[in-house]
A and B are shown apart, each in its own frame.
Chain A
């Protein structure tokens, strides 16, 4: 698999400070690179990639090193495209116009639908949250003799253990919600694959062919766009999306709890305490605003009756 190094923040090669938000250009692309790469591989029959050309790689490295934050993501997108094209040259695009090509497409399209299913399910393998009564005998004893444990400084430790257990349960529920969400889209992917097969058949009947990577991407995108939107706007899609978001935010809430326990144990301000301070600041700002406004209103000369505003 090709993996571009996107772990490091964008370096400002001009030695000037970069506004934090400008680095986000890269995060915009990152999402789609992975999808393009995965799609590309799934839309091609299994074959070993050719070794990359070291000279080309060196040249690309130089270009990226000198790139500005604005152009770097586009450069990386092109770099990815070039590598995919080079490493998988000889892909079946040229054969799409032939009867054999269409047949081949339909065979591996079905296989790919299965691959998609496996991929999506693998990303969200269902898990069971820990059962409520599954605490150990040690935990029960610990609670019974909590006073003694707490006097020895074990209170936070026990609270942390409970919080971690809740976090794990929330994470299990998140993965299940993710699976349900992906399952909605998996049905769409199957339709997309079928539609692409049909469209290629239609093209072939008219004596036309899909003869390039870009043509394939365009064909794929135009078909997939319609199907994905249908799913996204469906009641089922919206419900699964809302449940997934709910599960994700519940994980975050549990994570905050874990961090809060650790922060309190270490005498570090918790997020809730900071939020309280921020709230107080905001309320003071509002009071200041009202005072300033009242003061201005008293100082402002009133317009004379009958005077007209100039234009």
Chain B
């Protein structure tokens, strides 16, 4: 039998299998959770604890706006959230929802000092604590950093994962295939960003998705042909593929004013590490981040170059700062096998070590 004939057979079997998957098999983000608070399009979830007595100070996970939070609970077997729950952490998650045209004027200030602060307040009230642990992912890590700098009294420990902190740290050391968003954003003039935001209003999710796809335009073609064909005989891998694609394709729209500030103040002007970013009339000063900080970066991250996450220009006010390198890429950090064995256990260990002494 020729290779082509074999492939045709394989495709036929694969198509049959695809049509047999159940809704349950295809579902993502299935860890049991309860919605405990909602404001505008934003929801706050609490995951059902898996141990009898979870750590008393809960952890709030703050995801990015450019994707949906479901990534950190993509599949039961490779769920970052489930692994944290298994380590005895009480986990909350902020779901930024699906912004619409009416949210066009929502700013980073609204996200940080509004929605995020509301969520923290809600959790503090429920648990009778003054401060909680906050874990930010990518753009969510920037929001968390801003929050910690503006409201240090509310953050007990800060965990940053794949965080773009110094947006210009990659300058002069461009790595092949890495940091394209940085280059793209800096290639635009400030007025281009204004034109982009003014003409779109709310940035369509598919546009953001396309930007991410274009970061790896050719390999994506292989992904939907040769890679997909290779998975057809293995149900588990095929489901992994479908789950990931479902998540990748689900890009929410982003409020225009947030995009404007994100691209101009951060990607173009790098105001965060310069302590020049202003939210709601208040300057974000990283020296106010006085709580313990764990900064996790992915060794193979091509979206946020490592230099941008662990730059020496990032000067927090804390005396307890730890960096943790995790194998894998930007997303692989949360769903990859090797990273999964390290990420949640090390974060839990780090948090527990800082919860021994009451203060």
B26 A68 Cβ-Cβ under 8 A: yes
B192 A78 Cβ-Cβ under 8 A: no
- Determine the chain B residues whose CB is within 8 A of the CB of A281 once the complex forms: 102
Binds B, one of A147-155, A161-169, A228-236: A228-236
| B 31-56 contacts with A by CB, 8 A | 40, 55-56
Known A32-B221, A233-B180, A250-B195; judge A225-B7 contact (CB<8 A).
no
Proximity string of chain A (43-82) to chain B, C-beta cutoff 8 Å, 1 when within and 0 when not = 0000000000000000010010011101101110111011
Q: Give complex CA distance A14, B205 in Å.
A: 25
A82 B12 Cβ-Cβ under 8 A: yes
Interface size on A, residues (CB 8 A): 82
> Secondary structure of the B side of the interface?
helix
The answer to whether the Cβ of B246 comes within 8 Å of any Cβ in the partner chain is: yes
Q: Give complex CA distance A187, B242 in Å.
A: 35
B187 A75 Cβ-Cβ under 8 A: no
Q: Give complex CA distance A71, B19 in Å.
A: 7
A71 B229 Cβ-Cβ under 8 A: no
How many A-B pairs fall under 8 Å by CB? 220
A214 B225 Cβ-Cβ under 8 A: yes
The answer to whether the Cβ of B21 comes within 8 Å of any Cβ in the partner chain is: yes
The answer to whether the Cβ of B349 comes within 8 Å of any Cβ in the partner chain is: no
B105 A78 Cβ-Cβ under 8 A: no
- Determine the chain B residues whose CB is within 8 A of the CB of A256 once the complex forms: 199
The answer to whether the Cβ of B307 comes within 8 Å of any Cβ in the partner chain is: no
Q: Give complex CA distance A14, B218 in Å.
A: 35
The answer to whether the Cβ of B217 comes within 8 Å of any Cβ in the partner chain is: yes
Q: Which of B4, B23, B114, B246 has the most CB of A within 10 A?
A: B4
- Shortest Cβ distance from B97 into chain A, in angstroms? 10
Q: Give complex CA distance A85, B4 in Å.
A: 7
The answer to whether the Cβ of A308 comes within 8 Å of any Cβ in the partner chain is: yes
A21 B224 Cβ-Cβ under 8 A: no
Q: Give complex CA distance A138, B46 in Å.
A: 68
Known A225-B218, A252-B199, A286-B114; judge A311-B183 contact (CB<8 A).
no
The answer to whether the Cβ of A36 comes within 8 Å of any Cβ in the partner chain is: yes
- Determine the chain B residues whose CB is within 8 A of the CB of A86 once the complex forms: 8
Q: Give complex CA distance A308, B129 in Å.
A: 10
The answer to whether the Cβ of A263 comes within 8 Å of any Cβ in the partner chain is: no
**A-B contacts, 7 listed (Cβ < 8 Å):** A22-B246, A74-B228, A82-B8, A93-B4, A225-B218, A285-B40, A311-B56
Please list the residues of chain B having a beta carbon within 8 angstroms of any beta carbon in chain A.
2-4, 7-8, 11-12, 14-16, 18-19, 21, 23, 26, 40, 55-57, 68, 98, 101-106, 110, 114, 117-118, 121, 129-131, 174, 176-177, 180, 183-184, 187-189, 192, 195-196, 198-201, 205-206, 209-210, 213-214, 216-226, 228-230, 232, 241-242, 245-246, 248-252, 355-356, 358-359
